Amino acid sequence: MTTIAMANANTVTVQAEVINVRSGPGLAYDVTHQVRKNTVLKVIGEENKWYKVRFKDGNTGFVASWLVKNTEVSAASNSIAVVTSSGGLNIRKKPTSDSERLGMLNTGDQINVVSEQNGWAQIQYKGQNAWVNASYIKIRESTTKASGSNLQKLTIRDNATNIRNKPNLNGSVIEKADSGQSYSIDGVQGDWYKITTTSGKEGYVANWVVDISSSKEAAPVEKSKTTSLSEATIVIDPGHGGHDPGAKGADETIEKKATLKTAKILAEKLRKSGTKVIMTRESDEYVSLKTRTNIAQEYHADVFVSLHFDSVEEDQKSVHGQTTYYYKNKDESLAESINQSLGKELPTSNRGARIGDFYVVRENTQPAVLLELGYLSSKSDEKKINSKSYREHVATAVYQGLSNYFAN
């Protein structure tokens, strides 16, 4: 399932602060060196959503396509797309709205997209290159075919990985696979690989939970080695929501609103560094504790961070400060790293990292922490919690704690 960039002269620009250059197209390959933000890289090929780039000294390596700005080539090249415009879609000679019109596509028509640039998709029309506005199409499925000799395999990263009957998270789980188990890739549909299960059924597995290798490779692909935020998948869990408001302060501060505001600032900060961020909720809605932990498992999150604000009884209102909770011994280093940063950054007392018997950390299959970021029962803490600057401090501290955790 390899796609090749359209031309050797294409370039991409690094968007994250620092990204890893790897020896192969996947997180399982060794880091050879790093490049910083705004570095321009020459693309000489594309494989499994990774760009192969050549440096001035002649050396080559692979960078993740989602961490670079790319106006000349697309990781979606050689794909089937469906026309979504209700009034049809003009086919243009060049990738501009005032270019000569060559024809018209109807709603629902399928087209083969060769590449994308600056919001335009290149297609083949009556034997010649043509262009359509990419805003009015939806990429469906890769059409790139590999010969039997070049057929690639995927390797499962973690135990109990779901194989589904459809290429989305709503598909039913038909089988579970364990770490190290390999399958030949039969096709690609969006972010999902089509495979044949051990029982002979057609199944789909998400591309973010596997590593890719050539069938010619004798050695199995190693488990993913996440070494920086730019390669991490983080689930952020704003506590409470919907009919579950959480704690309430004397000045009417409601926990579910405060956690969501803080989560959105943290998510934005992480995304700017190239982190893949999944929120358990984006609005004031109720999400069960089981669903929250399931989300972390579904995305094989590198870290799950649950955000809360504490409260105590009337006679304990003098209690204030933040606490970092974990449940499993293996998560202690994660908790200590985040707690240390919170202690340095927040203008409140640090109550330390400690074991807490909370469902979302106890039942989580992924590394998980729960942060109590102040007491709504404390007037001084509530005032801080209501300030945007405090939420910014929280985001900075968690960001730095996670960065240190992955670096070490």
Q: 266-307: per-residue pLDDT in tens?
A: 999 999 888 889 999 999 999 999 999 999 988 889 999 999
Where a domain ends, among 47, 69, 91? 69
135 shares a domain with 158: no
Is residue 307 domain-resident?
yes
242 shares a domain with 317: yes
Beta-bridge partner residues of 376: none
Structure tokens at 125: 């029309």
Alpha-carbon distance values, 323 to 139, 340, 352, 386, 396 (Å): 45, 11, 5, 18, 16
What's the structural domain count of the chain?
Answer: 4
Return the closest-CA partner of residue 276 out of 322, 233, 246.
Answer: 233
Measured CA to CA, the distance from residue 192 to residue 164 in angstroms comes to 10
- For 376-391, b/e burial (b = at least 16 CB within 10 A) is bbbeebbebbbeeebb
184 shares a domain with 49: no
Where a domain ends, among 108, 126, 142? 142
* Per-residue pLDDT at 117: 67
Query: Considering the entire predicted model, what is its pTM?
Result: 0.52
Measured CA to CA, the distance from residue 372 to residue 255 in angstroms comes to 11
- pLDDT tens, position by position, 329-355: 899 999 999 999 999 999 989 999 999
* pLDDT per residue rounded down to tens, the chain (408 residues): 223 333 334 678 887 777 888 888 777 677 777 788 788 888 777 776 778 888 776 678 888 887 887 654 444 444 567 788 877 889 998 888 888 888 888 887 777 666 666 778 777 676 567 888 888 887 654 433 333 334 467 788 777 888 999 887 778 899 998 877 888 888 777 667 889 988 888 999 877 677 665 444 433 333 346 778 888 899 999 999 999 998 888 888 999 999 999 999 999 999 988 888 999 999 999 999 999 999 998 888 999 999 999 887 655 667 889 999 999 989 999 999 999 999 999 998 999 999 988 999 999 999 999 999 999 988 889 999 999 999 999 999 999 999 999 988
159 three-class SS: coil
Cα 225 from chain centroid (whole Å): 15
Is residue 6 domain-resident?
no
Is residue 221 domain-resident?
no
Instruction: Report DSSP letters for 32-94, one per residue.
Output: EEEEETT-EEEEEEEETTEEEEE-TTS-EEEEEGGGEE-SS--TT-SEEEEE--TT-EEEESS
Structure tokens at 86: 């209700």
Measured CA to CA, the distance from residue 344 to residue 156 in angstroms comes to 39
Is residue 239 domain-resident?
yes
* Per-residue pLDDT at 397: 96
* Per-residue pLDDT at 54: 80
CATH of the domain at 172: 2.30.30.40
Is residue 219 domain-resident?
no
352 shares a domain with 236: yes
Where a domain ends, among 127, 142, 157? 142
277 shares a domain with 233: yes
262 shares a domain with 367: yes
* Per-residue pLDDT at 303: 96
389 shares a domain with 246: yes
Instruction: Report DSSP letters for 194-223, one per residue.
Output: EEE-TTS-EEEEEGGGEEEEETT--SPPPP
401 shares a domain with 273: yes
Is residue 2 domain-resident?
no
Domain that residue 153 falls in = 148-214
Structure tokens at 399: 């960001």
Is residue 60 domain-resident?
yes
125 shares a domain with 89: yes
Is residue 32 domain-resident?
yes
359 shares a domain with 276: yes
280 shares a domain with 252: yes
* Per-residue pLDDT at 160: 80
* Per-residue pLDDT at 403: 93
312 shares a domain with 252: yes
* Per-residue pLDDT at 223: 39
Measured CA to CA, the distance from residue 37 to residue 16 in angstroms comes to 6
